[in-house]
Amino acid sequence: MQERSKHFSEEPDVKYSVNLKEKAMAPLTSRRDFIINSGKAGLGIYAGSTLLSSCSSTKKLVTGNSNTGFQQTPLPYSYNALNDAIDGTTMEIHYSKHAASYATNLQNAAKNENVDMNKPLEDVLGKISKYSTTLRNNGGGHYNHELFWKSMSPKSDQKPTGKLATAIDSGFGSFDTFKTQFSDAGKNRFGSGWAWLFVDGDKKLRIGSTPNQDNPLMDVAEIKGFPLLGLDVWEHAYYLRYQNKRPDYIANWWKVVNWDFIGTRYQSVI
């Protein structure tokens, strides 16, 4: 499918974040060195992403312990498992064709641009302005889908618990209000893109959206932070069952959100 560049004229302004990169480099390096030197890297506790808030003049760091590789990981359930929200054919095409292509194209771009694929993909996304549009689209595409599959489960707990539930209540007023605002972010994203719940530089929960395969990890994105939950609103994610009715897809998608996973992810960055 030739949909990658469908709305690419809507690229966010990259000048905004250029001056963040130098300032990000020192703490990124020192923190990584500390973690490696303390022997935790081999245990998978490695800090894969260190981020700056573009909105905050104090430019606080948000550090996550996620560590996304360049290969597609197995889908954690069968293609039909999410049928309450997404049909099996859509899942199969989405995972085995669309997402698989992002992974393959990412690996090819990484080779061409001398990216070390033993390091977390998060590191590349944080300085994606230094790389090609191909790497941006496919790096984002791969990262976003790897997160998307894990963010869903046939055994959804339907709502968050613990610290994430408390933070959603205090940040948005209630879980229902949060769902409405997040749904609106997905409905109102013009063309292809993603809706996000993310943690910003002040460790506050934020809702936003990005075009194409961009995400809040990218230095070129208009919203910046650590993504907790992403919703794919490209037509390939829902068109077979829902056709033009993106709001219906979003309404049903809540049935399969893996809040246990999202809550654990949240606790890793606060």
Q: Which residues bind Mn ion (CB under 5 A)?
A: 232, 234, 237
In the complex, the smallest distance separating the C-beta of residue 237 from Mn ion, rounded to whole angstroms, is 5
Q: Which is nearer to Mn ion, 221 or 237 (CB)?
A: 237
CA distances from 236 to 191, 233, 240 (A): 12, 8, 8
> What does the DSSP 8-state code read for residue 152?
B
Residues with Cβ within 8 Å of residue 13, at least 6 apart in sequence = 222
- Amino acid, single-letter form, for residue 240: L
In the complex, the smallest distance separating the C-beta of residue 220 from Mn ion, rounded to whole angstroms, is 20
Give the HSE-up count for residue 208: Cα atoms under 13 Å, Cβ half-sphere.
20
Q: Which is nearer to Mn ion, 94 or 206 (CB)?
A: 94
In the complex, the smallest distance separating the C-beta of residue 38 from Mn ion, rounded to whole angstroms, is 37
In the complex, the smallest distance separating the C-beta of residue 213 from Mn ion, rounded to whole angstroms, is 8
Q: Which residue has 């194409």 as its token pair?
A: 212
Q: Which is nearer to Mn ion, 101 or 107 (CB)?
A: 101
Q: Which is nearer to Mn ion, 122 or 232 (CB)?
A: 232
Measured from each CB, the residue nearest to Mn ion is 232
How many CB atoms are located within 10 Å of the residue 228 CB?
A: 25
In the complex, the smallest distance separating the C-beta of residue 257 from Mn ion, rounded to whole angstroms, is 16
Tokens coding 180? 């409405």
Q: Which residue has 């999410």 as its token pair?
A: 82
Give the C-alpha separation, 25 to 37, whole Å. 18
Q: Which is nearer to Mn ion, 75 or 167 (CB)?
A: 75
Asked if residue 72 lies in contact with residue 61, where contact means CB atoms within 8 angstroms, the answer is no
Length of the chain: 270
In the complex, the smallest distance separating the C-beta of residue 98 from Mn ion, rounded to whole angstroms, is 5
Give the C-alpha separation, 70 to 154, whole Å. 26
Q: Which is nearer to Mn ion, 50 or 144 (CB)?
A: 144
